[in-house]
A and B are shown apart, each in its own frame.
Chain A
């Protein structure tokens, strides 16, 4: 080595200096090796942490469609007017230096004033008390950005002709922690406001529109219980990153289809990575993971029918009526309509808390699924079938005794207990007993011909007391006694079952399933509410899933002869002038070209003191008689007096009218047709 050789010749002092220089350089080299090679990872992650922010970007939520593809719920763009703080940075800086200049001028004035008073120059230390402290300067920058922000919003107020307010605290919080995101000042602009803003917009305004998805229900409260609602929830779902610097607003379904099918509708949130500078201003943005949109849920619901049912219930019983309606295709189990009243607004926040918590209205309960009620007389067909199967001669008369206290009404004695009958005393065969709904007839024949065990066995075939599995966690199974239970009972309790009272409750949906079985010849179907799931973007190539219809759960195993006898008897309910449902179907201008088999019912609701406080009125039916297609179950809870025939049958009538109208019109074929 040239240099080293030269040094060797030289004096020891120079050699020592060279050694020290070499040692110093080696020390630096070692230090660099340690920092850059050994610990590089640690410093790289430090840099990553301080310069990137991750933002959770929610996926576009899927739509909810009716069976013909009409939109019941969708995500719509909601426009917010936001300040873009990175664009305002220049203005912030300008305002800051202006304020600082003013402050310095004031300082100078104070110094001059003091000097005049003292007739001498101030010393450095004396001048210092007027100087800015770090805190003063911080306040100046706060003041500067606040003045810019208020100026900009004032301009916006003028442009939009509407006050735009700015909250100092939220603004500061947003500035300190989320500089890289737009800061909303006016939410949910309507089209007129958007147009106004666009008119005045200029790129250096520092404000712009930003889009946020919001859930929109085009038909308002229609099918509200069925659809359910969403609430703001930006937490990560399974499989997503759990840490984000910021989460854009997102929604999760709470109940109904929104809740039950949230996993499908929700999609998968994406992740944006924002590179920020030392102040936190956005420097660059890149999408680490794009969001995957949620899928659409196609219901079996027919929107026209659903709306007709809701309108009919509201027009007959008022919008606050407590009731439920289920319309089912008896061949497939498809739920065509499911109404629960009173309806609530699916935009949950727009319901008044007083309404939501009303103990009587209970608007949050889906009565069609989650309400279980005593069925009353609409249970009699089940008892009737059990009796027919066990040797009841439908033509044999049963003599209803008069009630000694009310001679125009019948009654029956079970042991020493008297059970009243609404029908007049006299001779009743099967048809007349169904048509006029005699309690005595069905109690006598249920206990002595069918025997209670067989009633229960048949009821089990119908799967009373069990859930239908329509929406998990949002359904009750009702109460139905077991064989052991009824065997342990006295005759009085057994008699209660025979006319649909006592330890027996059902949901309107269960009744629709049961009447469908009676209508279709004995097949108990699994009801279907969701026809399928399809991708939001039809061109995406993702495969739609169709859930099969007409899934058989059970067969009631009843002879066709018995079924025929029952159906004929139920037909007289609406066709014989003495039938309880006759008036509703024979108003002079409303006779349908449709033969409907039905059964009315009235169940008393008692308080803890056995006082009757209200009634559950029912009308359960199916049609057409010749070739049944639809089952319609209507239930109304009211304190008012009446009967299933006068309160519920007119509503069923309206629904059948709508069904006919739909069948007769040349409506295009459904997108997802009911298959059978």
Chain B
């Protein structure tokens, strides 16, 4: 398919969304630079400069999205199950020592490729949206059958469990709202969703209570650092009820260590004030209080907030709002339920990322390692965000169907 034919369909692109996306990419490049350029070693070769790599990923991402935009999303949907199972294989592979590589805390999230580390969980989010949209685009009556409902849940839980095993709780969790919202929009009976929501809610509260208050022997088998982050978020003491003074001191030290990143991110955001300190003038990242490994990816928002202040964060939120609402508009204008569900899935996924990431920077949600779409440094994340946006544009381009 070539360009003239797109015009013929009256397609074109959603320009407003593209402007917002371009704005976000510009901000991303500028602040990855600010977060890394001042602390990186002066002997670092140019091809290892983070901000340059980030721009490279933007280029690759835009290219890939454009290429996918040329294909009709229906064709993609036909391959969705194949893509889904390929991703599942990757997610299984990453758990196998020798294939998946670990980070400092021992989580296996990456597959080392010659040029970069490939993070299958990011791609899993995309293929899940595609597969789920394809699955849910069946006739609305079928959605009223329990087996179909449970199949949908299964489609969601399989990658969830695999990502949870890595462990990467944040990435796993965003699958839930994405899947549930898609099911809701597709027309799954409210009764089913309420039953599901109620069950999950009760289980969640029980799990949280267990994590926060239960003695060690009765606790759920989650990672220590995950438990600690939750304890920090809820301000619960690390020490157990009958701890000795030494244990208490140790627990206090551990608590200070665990809450450190979140605290520094918050100081960064808060000290930006209304107008900020100016680009490359912030000190949280430059002085290393915000750890060098986190400032340019999970905590990039703190760097932006410190240097550009409330004005800057409002601009970022506005750009995201434009992307999200134009996305919902695309969903409304979509030719069919497949397109609508794809767009809604992408919007929910992006929104979950934005909400959780910014939320953890201002301590609304616990600290989880989840990137801010388009702004955080990282090839997989940038690539997936851009492909997701490309899919949305694809839905827009082909909105007038025949």
Contact = CB atoms under 8 A, between A and B. Distances in A.
Interface of A: 2-3, 6-7, 9-10, 13-14, 16-18, 21-22, 24-25, 27-29, 31-37, 39-40, 42-44, 46-47, 50-51, 275-279, 283
Nearest to B312: A36
B274 A40 contact: yes
B328 A37 contact: no
B273 A40 contact: yes
Nearest to B185: A13
Nearest to B324: A21
B49 interface: no
Contacts of A43: 266-267, 269-271
B258 interface: no
B288 A28 contact: no
B290 to A, nearest CB: 8
B119 interface: no
Given A25-B317, A36-B309, A40-B274, A17 B269 contact: no
Given A46-B271, A47-B271, A37 B325 contact: no
Given A21-B324, A25-B320, A29-B317, A35 B351 contact: no
A50 B266 CA distance: 14
A21 to B, nearest CB: 5
A31 B362 contact: yes
Contact of A7 (B273, B309, B328): B328
A32 B320 contact: no
20 contacts: A6-B332, A7-B332, A14-B185, A14-B344, A17-B344, A17-B347, A21-B325, A25-B321, A28-B362, A28-B364, A32-B362, A35-B266, A35-B270, A36-B270, A36-B274, A39-B270, A40-B272, A43-B267, A43-B270, A44-B273
Contacts of A50: 267, 289
Contacts of B287: 51, 275-278, 283
A36 B364 contact: no
Interface in B347-362: 347-348, 351, 354-355, 358-359, 362
Nearest to A281: B288
A435 B332 CA distance: 129
A46 B267 contact: yes
A36 B305 contact: yes
The 7 closest A-B pairs by CB, nearest first: A43-B270, A40-B273, A10-B332, A278-B288, A36-B310, A277-B287, A47-B271
Residue of A14, A24, A36, A42 contacting most chain B CB atoms (<10 Å): A36
A40 B271 contact: yes
Nearest to A5: B329
B268 to A, nearest CB: 8
B187 A37 contact: no
A37 B325 CA distance: 27
B270 A44 contact: yes
Contacts of B340: 14
Nearest to A31: B362
A275 B282 CA distance: 13
Contact of B305 (A29, A32, A276, A277): A32
B331 interface: yes
B76 interface: no
Contact of A24 (B187, B325, B351): B351
A35 B321 contact: no
Nearest to A2: B329
The size class of the interface chain B forms with chain A is 35 or more
A35 B269 contact: yes
A653 B129 CA distance: 112
A648 to B, nearest CB: 71
A3 B267 contact: no
Secondary structure at the A interface, as helix, strand, loop or mixed, is helix
A10 B329 CA distance: 9
A9 B324 contact: no
B59 to A, nearest CB: 29
A34 to B, nearest CB: 8
B181 interface: yes
B283 interface: yes
Contacts of A31: 358-359, 362, 364
A2 B274 CA distance: 30
Given A21-B328, A33-B310, A28 B267 contact: no
Interface in B283-340: 283-284, 286-289, 305, 309-310, 313-314, 317, 320-321, 324-326, 328-329, 331-333, 340
Given A28-B355, A51-B287, A36 B328 contact: no
Contacts of B272: 36, 40
A47 B328 CA distance: 40
B79 interface: no
B310 A37 contact: yes
Residue of A16, A28, A42, A278 contacting most chain B CB atoms (<10 Å): A28
Nearest to B41: A90
Nearest to B282: A47
A32 B310 contact: yes
A42 B271 CA distance: 8
Contacts of B351: 21, 24
A53 to B, nearest CB: 12
Given A29-B314, A36-B273, A17 B266 contact: no
B116 interface: no
A277 B358 CA distance: 25
Contact of B288 (A18, A40, A277): A277
B184 interface: yes
A199 B331 CA distance: 76
Contact of B269 (A29, A32, A276, A278): A32
Contacts of A16: 184
A14 B347 CA distance: 11
Nearest to B276: A36
Contacts of A28: 317, 354-355, 358-359, 362, 364
Given A43-B267, A51-B289, A277-B287, 5 more contacts: A7-B332, A10-B332, A28-B355, A29-B314, A32-B269
Contacts of B184: 13, 16-17
A312 B288 CA distance: 68
Interface in B175-189: 181, 184-185, 187
A276 B286 CA distance: 10
Contacts of A39: 270
A25 B314 CA distance: 10
A275 B286 CA distance: 11
Interface string B154-172: 0000000000000000000
Interface in B123-148: none
A278 B289 contact: yes
Contacts of B331: 10, 14
B75 to A, nearest CB: 25
Given A6-B329, A21-B328, A13 B283 contact: no
Contact of B273 (A14, A22, A37): A37
Contacts of B271: 40, 43-44, 46-47
A528 B310 CA distance: 67
Contacts of B269: 32, 35-36, 43
Contacts of A37: 273-274, 310
Residue of B321, B328, B359 contacting most chain A CB atoms (<10 Å): B328
B270 to A, nearest CB: 3
Contact of A13 (B187, B268, B289, B310): B187
Interface string B175-208: 0000001001101000000000000000000000
A499 to B, nearest CB: 77
Contacts of B288: 277-279
Contacts of B286: 283
Contacts of A2: 329
A567 B347 CA distance: 115
A9 to B, nearest CB: 7
A32 B289 contact: no
A35 B309 CA distance: 10
B370 to A, nearest CB: 14
Given A28-B364, A36-B305, A17 B328 contact: yes
A322 to B, nearest CB: 60
Given A31-B362, A37-B274, A14 B284 contact: no
